[in-house]
Amino acid sequence: MKFKTTPYHSDLLKDKERLSAFFQAIEEYDGNTDLAYDLGCGSGVLSYFLSGHFNEIIAIEVDRKASECAKYNLGMFNNVEVVNSDVFDYEFIKKADLIVCEMLDTALIDEEEVPVLNHAKKFLKHDGKIIPQGIINTVELVNMQRNHVHWDEGAIYEEYSKPIVYSEFDFLNYIDQEFETDLTLKSQKEGIVNGLKITTFTKLDDDIIAGPSPMLNPPLLIPLEEKRVKVNDLINVNLKYIMGNGIESIQTLYF
C-alpha cells in the first residue's frame, strides 16, 4: 500500500528499522482487542498495523494535513476513526485495551510523549498495555566540535568514556516531566571533554528493544564546559531537563 504523507511523515516511513520494530510489537500484542488509541497517529501507518487486530481504533492527530493523509490512507477500514484533535482536547469516552504513542525523541525531551501519556493513561483499562512499553537512556563523555545541543547525524565527535545507563522509564507508571540526576563518568583517555552524548533505546515490549535509527531517537550531543581529563579521572556532572519542553530546557553543571 502506498501511503499519502506529509514530507516529515514520508521520512518516518522510510525508516524501516523503526517501522519493523513497531510492526513486530503490534503483531506480538497478546492483550484484549476491543479498543486501541493511536495517539499522534501521523499518516496512520501504526493504525494500519492495528487495523487487523482490534475491533475499534481511534487515531488522534493534531496536525490537520497529517490527519487528512491518515483519513485518506485508512478510509477503507470501518474499524478506524481518525480525529483531528490535540490529545488534551479530545473527549475520551471509553477506556482502551492498548495505547500506541510514538511521540518519541531522544530522552523524551523534545516531544510530548510524557505529558500525553500521563494524561491519556487515565483512559487505559487496568490490565491495558502501552506500545512502546518504555525507554532506557545511556550517557557518555565526548569531545565534540559544535558548542550547542545537536543530534549526532553528520556530527564529528570522539567518545571519552563507556556509556552508562542513567535512567529507565516504564510508560505504565506516572513520569515526572522535570528530570534531574547526578552522573559520575570515568574517562578512558587523556584529552579534553566538552560534551555528553545521550543515547535512547526504545523498549517496545518485553522482548523487543530498538536502538537509535534515523527517525527514532538519534543520539543527542550536549555541550559541557571544557575540562582537561586524564585516564581514569572521574567526572561528576549534574544533568537536568524537562521532558516535553524541548532541548532548550537542558542544563548541565560540573560538581
CATH code of the region 134-254: 2.70.160.11
Residue 2's identity, in one-letter code, is K
H or E element at residue 20: helix 16-28
What mean pLDDT value characterizes the chain?
Answer: 96
Which pLDDT does position 14 carry in this prediction? 87
Intervals of CATH 3.40.50.150 along the chain: 7-102
Contact predicate 196/221, CB 8 Å: yes
- Chain segment 137-152, per-residue pLDDT in tens: 999 999 999 999 999 9
Contact predicate 151/198, CB 8 Å: no
Which pLDDT does position 13 carry in this prediction? 86
- Chain segment 11-51, per-residue pLDDT in tens: 888 889 999 999 999 999 999 999 999 999 999 999 999 99
CA quadruple 252, 210, 175, 55: dihedral sign: positive
Q: Alpha-carbon distance 130 to 40, whole Å?
A: 14
Intervals of CATH 2.70.160.11 along the chain: 134-254
Q: Alpha-carbon distance 244 to 134, whole Å?
A: 15
The upper half-sphere exposure of residue 14, i.e. CA atoms within 13 Å in the direction of its Cβ, equals 9
Which pLDDT does position 220 carry in this prediction? 98
Residues in the chain with pLDDT values less than 50: none
Q: With pLDDT > 90 as the criterion, what percentage of the chain qualifies?
A: 93
Residue 237, strand partner residues: 183, 254
Which pLDDT does position 76 carry in this prediction? 97
Which pLDDT does position 50 carry in this prediction? 98
CA 154 to centroid of chain Cα atoms:
21
CATH code of the region 7-102: 3.40.50.150
> How does DSSP assign 205-223, residue by residue?
SSS-EE--BTTB---EEEE
H or E element at residue 48: helix 45-50
CA quadruple 43, 48, 173, 33: dihedral sign: positive
Place of cell 485495551: 97
